[in-house]
Amino acid sequence: MKRHKNLFPQIARFENLLLAAKKSQKGKKYRDNVLKFYYNLEPELLKLKTQLETKTYQPGEYRTFKIIDRKTRMISAAPYRDRIIHHALCNIIVPIFEKTFIHDSYANRINFGTHKALRRFTHILHLTRQSSKPCL
């Protein structure tokens, strides 16, 4: 596997943090914490950039809550600032790692997932059963 040195400056770039903020906003645009962050977007992103560059960034406390959607689940949600950092990191490293995955790797990948994995499994199972039928 190819080595990638010094990705940190790319992660901390203002443009990357801005893109990450837009991605992390998806589906949460009108929540109070998101609106508050966006009200001071540029200063907030510059503050994050400085904290990353000076290595003083500290993740915040996760908020834990229960949802009931067919079954009860406990959810731990990162603070909005941390979600931006998560996206900023993924913006840089996902394209690097994506190239190294095998075709049938489905977990935590864009346009992959449980349903696609199940369809692929069913397809392979069907092919396997066809090839194992005796010829008469």
Q: Which of 96, 121, 92 is nearest to 106 (CA)?
A: 121
Q: Which of 44, 59, 61 is nearest to 89 (CA)?
A: 59
**CB within 8 A of 18, min separation 6: which ones?**
41, 45
Half-sphere exposure (CA, 13 Å, Cβ side) for 72?
2
Over residues 9-30, the mean pLDDT reads 93
pTM metric for this prediction: 0.75
Inform me whether the pLDDT recorded for 134 exceeds 70: no
pLDDT at 123: 86
Inform me whether the pLDDT recorded for 136 exceeds 60: no
Tell me the one-letter amino acid at 88: A
- Angle at alpha carbon of residue 40, lines to 34 and 45, rounded to 5°: 85
